[in-house]
Structure 1
Amino acid sequence: MGIVINQSIKNTVITYIGFAIGAVNSLYMYPHFLGEDFYGITTYILSSANVLFPLMAFGIHNTLIKFFSEYKTEKEKKQFLGFVLLLPLLIILPIFAISILGYDSIASFLSRKNAIVYDYVWQIPIIALCMGYFEIFYAWVKVHMQSVYGNFLKEIGLRILISIFLLSVYFQIITVEQFITATMFAYLISMLLMLFYANKVKPISFRFKIPNNAKAILVYSSFIILSGSVANMLLDIDKTMLNQYIEIKNLSYYSVAIFIATVIAVPSRSMHQITYPITAKLMIENKYDELNDLYKKSSITLQIVGGLVLVGILVNINQVYHLLPKNYSGGILVVFLIGISKYFDLILGNNNAIIFNSKYYRAILFLGLLLAFFAITLNMIFIPKYGINGAAIATLISITLYSIAKLLFVVLKMKLYPFTVNNIYALLIGLLCFFGFYYWEFPFHPIINIILKSILITLLYVFLSFKANLSEDINSVIIKTLKIIRMN
Structure 2
Amino acid sequence: MGIVQRQGLRNTIISYAGLGVGFVNTTLVLPRLLAPAQLGLLSVLVALATLGAQLSALGFTNTTLRYFPYFRDAESGHRGYLPLLLAVPLAVFGGVALGLWLGRPWVLAWYSHGHDTDLVGRHYGVMLAMAFFILLYSLLDSYAKSLFYSSFSSFLTEVLQRLLIVSAAALYATKVLSFEGFVLAYLGSYAAVALALLVYLGVVGELHLRPRRAVLAVRPMGELLRFGSFALLSNISGNILVTIDSLMLGSQRSLTDAGIYVIALNISTALAIPFRALYKTAHPLIAEYWKEGAAAKMLDFYRRTTRLNTALGAYLAVGIALNLPFIYGLIHRPAFAAGTTAVLLLLAGRLTDGITGVNGLIVSTSPRYRYDLLFNVGLAGSIVVLNYLLIPRFGLTGASLSNCLALSGINLLRTWFVWRSFGWQPFDRTVAYLLLLAAGAGAVAWALPGFHNSWLTLLLRGGTLTAIYGLGLLLSGWVPEVSRVARWLTKQ
TM band (smaller chain)? 0.7 to 0.9
Deviation for aligned residue 1:117: 1.1
Tell me the equivalent position of 1:177: 180
Tell me the equivalent position of 1:379: 387
Task: Write the letter of the residue equivalent to 2:394.
Answer: Y
- Residues 451 and 212 from structure 1, CA distance in 2 versus in 1: closer, same or farther, beyond 3 angstroms? same
Structure 1, unaligned runs of 5 or more? none
Alpha-carbon separation, structure 1, partners of 2:55 and 2:449: 47
Residues 247 and 258 of structure 2 are in contact (CA less than 8 Å); yes or no, is this contact kept in structure 1? no
Tell me the equivalent position of 2:254: 247
Query: In the TM superposition, what are the counterparts of 1:124-139 in structure 2 within 5 Å?
Result: 124-132=127-135, 134-135=137-138, 137-138=140-141
Tell me the equivalent position of 1:259: 266
Aligned partner (choices 145, 164, 167) of residue 164 of structure 1: 167
Aligned partner (choices 436, 440, 448) of residue 440 of structure 1: 448
Larger mean Cα displacement after TM superposition, 228-237 or 436-445: 436-445
Alpha-carbon separation, structure 2, partners of 1:264 and 1:278: 23
Residues 351 and 407 of structure 1 are in contact (CA less than 8 Å); yes or no, is this contact kept in structure 2? yes
1:335 paired to 2:336:
no
Structure whose CA Rg is larger: 2
Alpha-carbon separation, structure 2, partners of 1:296 and 1:136: 37
- Residues 409 and 13 from structure 1, CA distance in 2 versus in 1: closer, same or farther, beyond 3 angstroms? farther
1:155 paired to 2:163:
no
- Residues 14 and 316 from structure 1, CA distance in 2 versus in 1: closer, same or farther, beyond 3 angstroms? farther
Larger mean Cα displacement after TM superposition, 390-399 or 215-224: 215-224
Aligned partner (choices 317, 341, 345) of residue 324 of structure 2: 317
Tell me the equivalent position of 1:93: 94
- Residues 394 and 423 from structure 1, CA distance in 2 versus in 1: closer, same or farther, beyond 3 angstroms? same
Deviation for aligned residue 1:310: 1.4
Deviation for aligned residue 1:264: 0.9
Residues 194-236 of structure 1 show CA distances to partners (whole Å, capped at 9, x for unaligned) of 5566788994766662433654443232122112212221222
How many positions carry a matched residue from both structures? 479
Deviation for aligned residue 1:338: 0.6
Deviation for aligned residue 1:368: 3.9
Alpha-carbon separation, structure 2, partners of 1:478 and 1:146: 38
Residues 72-109 of structure 1 show CA distances to partners (whole Å, capped at 9, x for unaligned) of 97679956964656553464332123234x15434433
Tell me the equivalent position of 1:187: 190
Task: Write the letter of the residue equivalent to 1:34.
Answer: L
Query: In the TM superposition, what are the counterparts of 1:159-238 in structure 2 within 5 Å?
Result: 159-194=162-197, 203=206, 209-210=215-216, 211-212=218-219, 215-238=222-245
Deviation for aligned residue 1:16: 5.7
Task: Write the letter of the residue equivalent to 1:99.
Answer: L
Deviation for aligned residue 1:260: 1.0
Residues 383-441 of structure 1 show CA distances to partners (whole Å, capped at 9, x for unaligned) of 12111111111211122222223333333335554555554444333323322323334
Alpha-carbon separation, structure 2, partners of 1:427 and 1:454: 17
Task: Write the letter of the residue equivalent to 1:446.
Answer: S
TM-score (norm 2): 0.81
Residues 319 and 446 of structure 1 are in contact (CA less than 8 Å); yes or no, is this contact kept in structure 2? yes
- Residues 104 and 140 from structure 1, CA distance in 2 versus in 1: closer, same or farther, beyond 3 angstroms? closer
Larger mean Cα displacement after TM superposition, 191-200 or 239-248: 191-200
Alpha-carbon separation, structure 1, partners of 2:247 and 2:184: 19
Tell me the equivalent position of 2:44: 44
Alpha-carbon separation, structure 1, partners of 2:412 and 2:77: 36
Aligned partner (choices 449, 454, 459) of residue 462 of structure 2: 454
CA RMSD of aligned residues (A): 4.0
Larger mean Cα displacement after TM superposition, 433-442 or 392-401: 433-442
- Residues 181 and 289 from structure 1, CA distance in 2 versus in 1: closer, same or farther, beyond 3 angstroms? farther
Query: In the TM superposition, what are the counterparts of 1:304-453 in structure 2 within 5 Å?
Result: 304-323=311-330, 324-415=332-423, 417-419=425-427, 422-453=430-461
Aligned partner (choices 268, 276, 279) of residue 269 of structure 1: 276
- Residues 414 and 435 from structure 1, CA distance in 2 versus in 1: closer, same or farther, beyond 3 angstroms? same
Residues 230 and 369 of structure 1 are in contact (CA less than 8 Å); yes or no, is this contact kept in structure 2? yes
Alpha-carbon separation, structure 1, partners of 2:474 and 2:81: 44
Alpha-carbon separation, structure 2, partners of 1:235 and 1:166: 23
Larger mean Cα displacement after TM superposition, 317-326 or 350-359: 350-359
Structure 2, unaligned runs of 5 or more? none
Alpha-carbon separation, structure 1, partners of 2:415 and 2:376: 13
Deviation for aligned residue 1:112: 2.5
Alpha-carbon separation, structure 2, partners of 1:425 and 1:308: 13
- Secondary structure at the aligned position of 1:42 is classed as helix
- Residues 39 and 412 from structure 1, CA distance in 2 versus in 1: closer, same or farther, beyond 3 angstroms? same
Larger mean Cα displacement after TM superposition, 9-18 or 324-333: 9-18
Alpha-carbon separation, structure 2, partners of 1:167 and 1:396: 34
Larger mean Cα displacement after TM superposition, 111-120 or 419-428: 419-428
- Residues 478 and 108 from structure 1, CA distance in 2 versus in 1: closer, same or farther, beyond 3 angstroms? same
Residues 358-394 of structure 1 show CA distances to partners (whole Å, capped at 9, x for unaligned) of 4534444345434433322221222121111111112
Deviation for aligned residue 1:153: 3.8
Deviation for aligned residue 1:334: 0.2
- Secondary structure at the aligned position of 1:185 is classed as helix
Larger mean Cα displacement after TM superposition, 206-215 or 183-192: 206-215
Deviation for aligned residue 1:340: 0.8
Alpha-carbon separation, structure 2, partners of 1:205 and 1:410: 44
Alpha-carbon separation, structure 2, partners of 1:94 and 1:254: 32
Aligned partner (choices 114, 120, 123) of residue 123 of structure 2: 120
Deviation for aligned residue 1:62: 3.9
Residues 100-136 of structure 1 show CA distances to partners (whole Å, capped at 9, x for unaligned) of 4x15434433433321211222333443444455455
- Residues 327 and 402 from structure 1, CA distance in 2 versus in 1: closer, same or farther, beyond 3 angstroms? same
Alpha-carbon separation, structure 2, partners of 1:249 and 1:140: 38
Alpha-carbon separation, structure 1, partners of 2:463 and 2:144: 37
Task: Write the letter of the residue equivalent to 1:269.
Answer: R
Alpha-carbon separation, structure 2, partners of 1:417 and 1:146: 38
